Structure 1
Amino acid sequence: MPPKKRSRTEPIVRVRTGCYTCRRRKKKCDEVRPSCGGCVRNKLNCEWPAKTLPASSTRPNGSNTICDQVVQGQPVSPSTIQTPRRSSGSLSAPVGSTASPPALFSTFDVEDRFSPPTDERALLVPMGYSHATPRSSTSGSDSPTSVTIGNFMPRSLSMLPGYSPESFQLLSHYLATTADVMANGSTPINPFLVQIVPLAFTSDLLLQLVLTQSAAHRAFRCRNDSDEVAQCHYTKALQLFRKGVTEFIDGKESNPLMLTVGALVMCFTETAKGDMNGTIFDHLSAANSLLTHLLSLSDAAVTKDLKDFVIEYYTYTAAVSMISIDARVSHQLLLNFDLEQKARQLLQSEYVGNLCGCWLELLLMIPCIFDLGRQWMMLDDQLTMPTADNIAMFASLQCQIVRWNPFPSVTPEVFLAGRVFQHAMLLYLYTSLGSFSRTEHGMHQGLINTAITEAMSYLNQLSATARINSGLCWPIAVVGSCLCDVEQQEQLRQRLTTMVNTFGLGNMQRTLLLLEHMWDMPLEEAGPWNICRAMQQHQIWISFA
């Protein structure tokens, strides 16, 4: 039997066709008798009127339904909105009830709650409810978002519950800009989007780090060193990251995935903000320890694509950061043997990445060249003659670099960038012999001059606004540190200035700042092996990632 109706002065809002149950629930009825599909699906008592009113009949006194009022742009009175009532003994929250949101939701099944009919989605705005006193009018807003249901006022929709609107803006900036400039465009799939973003929505820590990276990038693009939003997010990110590392050390957190990716995101946050304090090296040290644990996990726990990207991410950042270490006084190697072997496994599939492009093989030679140069440089700067093994290693490295070729499948821009890296690597190798005097027109200086000419030639074929430039700070720094020609220096100056204006990455501006200092130095005190000394002299501790 239908529930006893109460007399009321307000019009009852019902669906104009279908069973009484669907009308009360304001659901579309498929009009199947004796029990419609909606009532069967939701296990309700399907009740039908004795006689169905014509569809063209109007409401008493000419009033319209809520949907009609919304469509026509008319103000909606809170008193015309009714909370749904259920038959068959189901409880419902009457108008004016102080029941909590879970109590309200308990009157609907899961399908009703998350899968509203298409024609109703336009009117659904609340994701949650907060207690509020009923409003007497809706003056000042004709939008459905201003509707009050009983004592509950719908909140505005939020993609980041618990985060401020500023956080949503930062996420939008990351998706639209930051992730795009972090990747060099070597592949059509951007891992900073397809790998990092899904992880960020499963971890408060990683989401905070992504927002911090976006805030740092946005602040630098606006040339706002005192951006309070960026500083606040950066401080919070460091606190969360340190807490996570502490919990991992204490054994409270067994999965290193979020921390490892988080440490790498922090590295590129320093890249975006143009840090000059060497903070990136702290993040690299943390990532080194965490990555070993991560790579021990099965592919079921961490997908192969994500592992490959993390290996590339760390290998690239660690390799290009080694040039900032003084080989004369430090024995530090940021890329250990195990991680190097993992990276070499990627080469078997001709791996092309959005950080290392097609030149991962060249990057893996940097630790070898660094170790070779360190053996030739004494702590007190006294010369030592190279051993037979040193000479053999030098020849082997030179041969590997010279015979290297970009993969034929890459785009022309990636091909050119690979050639730039190739000749910068030759310069890095040749100048490791800088402790030995060389004549102006000697064979050694001739090799250096040839490598410079080739590198500049390939650079000039690349537009300074091409995305591939986001990964070229290292070869530009190596080549630039060897330049004595004013015209070539000006070419690099203009290129880096264009890159800064295009990509808005702080490390590009810091690279130019460092080269300006090196161009003021005597040629014998310049070169890539003296970049670390220029950093120390001018307190510009940067990475070229």
Structure 2
Amino acid sequence: MPPSRRPRIDPIVRVRTGCWACRRRKKKCDEAKPVCGGCVRNKLTCQWPAAVPGGSKAPNPPTEDDPQHQHQAQVDAPEQGTHRASSGSTESRSTSPSSPEEILRNASPEETALERAVSIPLASAFSRASSPGNIQELGGSPPMTVANVLPRNMSMFPGHGPDSYQLLSHYLATTADCMANGSTPVNPFLVQIVPLAFSSDLLLQLVLTQSAAHRAFRSQKDSDEVAQRHYTKALQLFRKGVTEFIDGKESNPLMLTVGALVMCFTETAKGDMNGTIFDHLTAANSLLIRLLAQSDTAVPKDLKDFVIEYYTYTAAVSMISIDARVSTQLLLDFELEQRARQLLQSEYVGNLCGCWLELLLLIPCIFDLGRQWLMHDDQPTMPTADDIAMFGSLQVQILRWAPYASVPPEVFLAGQIFQQAMLLYLYTSLGGFSRTENGMYQGLIETAITDGMSYLGQLSATARINSGLCWPIAVVGSCLSNPGHQESLRRRLTTMVNTFGLGNMQRTLLLLENMWEMPLDEAGPWNICRAMQRNQIWISFA
């Protein structure tokens, strides 16, 4: 048992001159300005008492008995403990940056994105709250600085481990940018998803999981303990949420719907090859119908529009992974398709569908046309009159489509790439992928390949818009027989993987490598699903 401490008899001698840092630390200050020697030596922020008009003495620092001093001690104590634990230094920081700019300057690079998104707005809020006009309303005394009321190590994730801060920082700085293609200046993965995440434990866990999966793939870690732990927890929470929704314990489908879509893109980030994304899509489908029935008051229109775009994009580009010979599943039913078409009336441009939403909505129509042809046990040598009529109607719609003139050049170019891929998807739907000289639609196929590769050649592989181009790259790539074209796509996808670190890009390249080894009559977009089955690569191109 440690000996009892001898009671203090002599009065405490306080430092009454010098900077505030030395006064708090009870150290002698050499009073060198603007930064004293003690603050230089201990890497502290050197602050001086403001000069008092009339030559009177500057006010003394608060005493230990002063409530303001006790409040400051409570704020400083956790920060000092954190500093000692991280650096092992005998000296602790006793002051914090007093302005948002200083907070950013002292933050580590990994913290900076999160500080901008959270700490700085909070610091501004505290500054406004402590203004003279608001102090009386709040019933408090004016704080000395922002640092007095905003501790640097405040807990933003109750119940989460220390890695959560880093994962959210990675999401804000990197993952959100890679998820969106940059078609609009506002990134919905930040302005829509993040506020929802801070109001839902489930959605926050799913965002952290997506960030962990993305970070692990970028780091080329096949087995990342943090990512696996968050992924397991996310699945548990999501299943629990779905169960409660089914049992009637939860009536609001918003968080579950957005959560299912976030899980879809988590599979995109990690490069899942087991087809798990299709389970999430199925869940999102039934939840979204319930969500859209709610009024714009309950769910803001811009959020509802983004959710519609999110699901429409993911479902449309995933349909090519389904074998039309044995499945009638469309993923995009009539009601959801009609809600997406309503967005076209305002020339909707999104961070997933760019300006080509109208083209994406034609994918189920082409899929249904090809399915009817491929499901015949004894395929006829020529399409029926109804087949030809539908084929002609779809071809006209694709050819007359044009990107909006108002979009940026890269978005315009990406729209043209999608257009050529759509033509290839249509031209090969009626058994047209025949490599004989007089094969059905062979001239149209070759023209679409040439134009598609030309547009891809004009677009830098590092442009953000590439994050949404895996589907057209896969469609065009599945039709290639020219080794030069194959090598061009190989280099492009490799650069995209290194730039964005998204697993579906690497899986797209892996799938195309396998398809380029197949006979020509077994290639083409309608055989992508069979190549997946043969090589056990079940992916979505979202």
Q: TM-score under structure 2 normalisation? A: 0.77
The aligned residue for residue 203 of structure 1 is 200
Q: CA deviation at 1:118?
A: 5.0
Taking a change above 3 Å as real, the CA distance of residues 238 and 454 of structure 1, as seen in their structure-2 partners, is same
CA–CA distance in 1 between the matches of 2:135 and 2:142?
Answer: 13
**Is the counterpart of residue 533 in structure 1 residue 530 in structure 2?**
yes
Which of 494, 501, 505 is residue 502 of structure 2 equivalent to? Answer: 505
For residue 517 of structure 2, what is the aligned residue in structure 1? 520
Q: 1:271-307 CA distances to partner (integer Å, 9 max, x unpaired)?
A: 0000000000000000000000111111111100000
> Please, which of 180, 190, 193 is the counterpart of residue 193 of structure 1?
190
More divergent stretch after superposition (383-392 vs 116-125): 116-125
User: How far apart are 1:391 and its partner, in Å?
Assistant: 1.3
Alpha-carbon distance in structure 2 between the residues aligned to 1:381 and 1:68: 93
Distance 1:64 1:483 in 2: 73
Structure 1 residue 382, shift from structure 2 partner: 3.6
Residue number among 354, 358, 367 corresponding to 2:355 in the alignment: 358
What are the within-5 Å matches in structure 2 for residues 152-171 of structure 1? Answer: 156-171=153-168
Q: Do 1:329 and 1:379's aligned partners in 2 also have CA atoms closer than 8 Å?
A: no
The separation in 2 between residues aligned to 1:111 and 1:290, in whole angstroms, is 48
1:320 pairs, out of 296, 317, 320, with 317
Q: How far did 1:80 drift? A: 6.3
Per-residue deviation, residues 318-360 of structure 1 (Å, max 9, x unmatched): 0000000000000101000000000000000000000000000
In the TM superposition, residue 58 of structure 1 has moved relative to its aligned partner by 5.2
Among 253, 262, 270, which residue is 1:273 paired with? 270
Which residue is 1:330 aligned to?
327
Local SS of the residue matching 1:168: helix
Q: How many Å apart are 1:123 and its aligned residue?
A: 3.7
3-state secondary structure, aligned to 1:119: coil
Aligned pairs for 1:85-124 within 5 A: 117=142, 119-124=144-149
Closer, same or farther in 2 for the Cα pair 1:9/1:123, shift >3 Å?
farther
Deviations 1:458-503 (A, max 9, x none): 0000000000000000000000000000000000000000000000
TM (normalized to structure 1)? 0.76
Aligned 8 A contact 1:10 1:80 in 2: no
Give the distance between the partners of 1:234 and 1:186, measured in 2 at CA: 29
Contact 2:260 2:280 in 1 (8 A): yes
Residue 179 of structure 1 deviates from its aligned partner by 0.1
Partner of residue 297, structure 1 = 294
Q: Secondary structure at the match of 2:144?
A: helix
How far residue 381 of structure 1 moved from its aligned partner, in angstroms, is 5.9
In structure 1, stretches of 5+ residues that fail to align are 1-6, 14-56, 86-91, 96-108, 127-144, 146-155
CA distance in 2, matches of 1:436, 1:226: 41
**Structure 1 residue 286 and structure 2 residue 287: aligned?**
no
**Structure 2 CA distance for aligned equivalents of residues 188 and 437 of structure 1:** 43
* C-alpha separation in 2, matches of 1:483 and 1:243: 45
What letter corresponds to residue 189 of structure 1 in structure 2? V
The within-5 A match list for 1:241-260 is 241-260=238-257
Identity of aligned residues (%): 76
Distance 1:159 1:371, change over 3 A: same
What is residue 235 of structure 1 aligned with on the other side?
232
Task: Tell me what 2:67 maps to.
Answer: 84
What is the CA–CA distance in structure 2 between the aligned matches of 1:192 and 1:526, rounded to whole Å?
36
Q: CA deviation at 1:157?
A: 2.0
Write out per-residue CA displacement over residues 25-82 of structure 1, whole angstroms, 9 at most, x where no aligned residue: xxxxxxxxxxxxxxxxxxxxxxxxxxxxxxxx958xxx98538869965899xx9633
Flag the 1:230–1:12 CA change in 2: closer, same or farther, 3 A: same
Structure 1 residue corresponding to 2:408, chosen from 408, 411, 414: 411
Q: Give the corresponding residue for 1:104.
A: none
User: Is this contact kept in 2: 1:271–1:507, CA < 8 A?
Assistant: yes
1:383 Cα shift? 3.5
Aligned to 1:395: 392
Measure the CA separation in 2 of the matches of 1:168 and 1:114.
33
The verdict on how the C-alpha distance between 1:411 and 1:120 changes in structure 2, with shifts beyond 3 A counting, is closer
Structure 1 residue aligned with 2:491? 494
SS at match of 1:406: coil
Structure 2 CA distance for aligned equivalents of residues 479 and 354 of structure 1: 22
Q: How far has the Cα of 1:114 moved from its partner?
A: 10
Q: Distance in 2 between matches of 1:530 and 1:114?
A: 71
Among 438, 454, 458, the residue aligned to 2:455: 458
SS of the counterpart of 1:432? coil
Confirm whether residue 378 of structure 1 aligns to residue 375 of structure 2: yes
The question of whether the paired residues in 1 share the 8 Å contact of 2:432 and 2:440 is answered with no
- Change in 2 beyond 3 A, CA 1:381/1:517: farther
Alignment partner of 2:221: what SS?
A: coil
Alpha-carbon distance between aligned partners in 2 of 1:385 and 1:458, rounded to the nearest angstrom? 33
Q: Quote the residue 1:183 is aligned against.
A: 180
Of residues 15, 18, 24, the one that matches 1:66 is 24
Number of the residue aligned with 2:90:
none
Q: How does 1:46-65 map to 2 (within 5 A)?
A: 65=23
* Bigger helix share: 2
Count matched residues. 445
Tell me if structure 1 keeps the 8 A contact 2:292–2:304: yes
- Pick closer, same or farther for the CA change 1:283–1:58 going to 2, 3 Å: closer
Separation of aligned partners in 2, 1:110 and 1:294: 42
Change (3 A) 1:396 1:64: closer
Question: Is 1:430–1:448's contact at 8 Å kept on the other side of the alignment?
Answer: yes
Aligned to 2:118: none
Is 1:209–1:262's contact at 8 Å kept on the other side of the alignment? yes
Q: Which residue identity is paired with 2:247?
A: D
> Retained in 1: the 8 A contact 2:434–2:442?
no
What amino acid sits opposite 1:188 in the alignment? P
Question: Following the alignment from structure 1 to structure 2, what is the Cα–Cα distance between the partners of residues 58 and 255?
Answer: 60
Gaps of 5+ in 2: 1-7, 30-34, 45-61, 74-133
Tell me which residue corresponds to 1:480. 477
Give the 3 Å change call, closer, same or farther, for CA 323–58 of structure 1 in structure 2: closer
Query: How far has the Cα of 1:158 moved from its partner?
Result: 2.4
Contact 2:180–2:189 (CA under 8 A) maintained in structure 1 = yes
Q: CA deviation at 1:389?
A: 1.9
State the alpha-carbon separation in 2 of the partners of residues 490 and 468 from structure 1.
Answer: 21
| CA distance, structure 1, for counterparts of residue 139 and residue 445 of structure 2 | 66
Change in Cα spacing, 1:221 to 1:115, as seen in structure 2 (3 Å) is farther
Which residue of 1 is the match for residue 171 of structure 2? 174
Task: Report how far residue 164 of structure 1 moved.
Answer: 1.7
Q: Which amino acid aligns with 1:359?
A: W
Which residue number in structure 2 is paired with residue 105 of structure 1? Answer: none
Aligned-residue CA RMSD in angstroms? 3.0
Q: Which residue of 2 aligns with 1:310?
A: 307
CA distance in 2, matches of 1:222, 1:392: 51
Shift of 1:163: 1.8
- Could you tell me which amino acid in structure 1 is paired with residue 338 of structure 2? Q
